[in-house]
Homo-oligomer: A and B are copies of this chain.
Amino acid sequence: MSKKEEILKAATLLFATNGFKETSMTEVASMTGAASATVFYHFKSKEELFLSVLSSVKDGIIEEFSHYFGEKKFTNGLEMLEGTVSFYLYLAGSRAEWFLLLHRYYPYKLAKENNACRHSLEDIYNCFVDIFEKALVQGQTDGSIGKLSPRKTALLILSTVDGMVRFKNCDLYDAGALYNELIAVIRRMAANQNQKI
C-alpha cells in the first residue's frame, strides 16, 4: 500500500469515528508515521482529503454490491429484497467506518456547496435505492411483491434499514437483535398478500 493509500485509509477511520472538525491533519499524519506536511503534499487541503475519502467509500460500496449481485442469484423479487437487506446489514458491520461516515452530518452539509461531494452522496444513495427498487419491480413481475410504488417503497425500506444501522452505531439498541423482526416487517410491507410463497 502506498503512503497516499495509507493516509486515505487512516483519514477514513478518523473522519468516521471522530468527525471532520475533530480530526486534525497531524493526527492523520501520525497514524501513518508521516509528517503532517506529507499529507498536504498528497492532498492539497483537508477538504480535498475528505472528498477523496468519500469518493473512495462510494467506490467501495458500489464495488461490494456489484460483487454480491455477481455471485448471488435469487428465485424471485422478494428473496432478492431480503437478500439485499441482509447484505446491507452485513456491510454495515464489516465496513462500519463507511456507515459511520455516512451517518455524520458533515458530508451532507458540504454537499450543499460542493458538487463533487453531492455527486458522491447521490451515487451512494442511488446505488442503495436502485437495488431495492429493482428487487421490488422484479417481484411485481414474478408475483412475489404486492401492488405498491416501487421507488417510494424502496426509499422507505432504505429509511428503515439505514435508521436501524444508525441506531446501532449510536449504541441506542442492537440491530442484530431485531434482524428477524426486520425481515418479517419487510415481508409484511412488500409481499404480495394474496399469494403464499
Nearest Cβ distance between residue A106 and chain B, in whole angstroms?
Answer: 7
In the complex, the answer to whether B172 meets A185 with C-beta atoms within 8 Å is: no
User: Given the interface contacts A105-B103, A105-B170, does A178 sit within 8 Å of B156 by beta carbon?
Assistant: yes
Nearest Cβ distance between residue A128 and chain B, in whole angstroms?
Answer: 10
A170-193 to B contact mask, C-beta < 8 Å, 1/0: 111100011001101100110001
SS class, residues of chain A in contact with chain B: helix
User: How far does the alpha carbon of A178 sit from the alpha carbon of B152 in the complex, in Å?
Assistant: 7
- Mark A residues whose CB is within 8 Å of B: 19, 21-22, 100, 103-106, 108, 111-112, 121, 125, 148-149, 152-153, 155-156, 158-164, 166-167, 169-173, 177-178, 181-182, 184-185, 188-189, 193
Given contacts A155-B173, A156-B182, A189-B189, 12 further A-B contacts (CB under 8 A): A19-B21, A19-B105, A19-B106, A21-B22, A108-B169, A111-B171, A125-B172, A152-B177, A152-B178, A153-B185, A160-B160, A163-B166
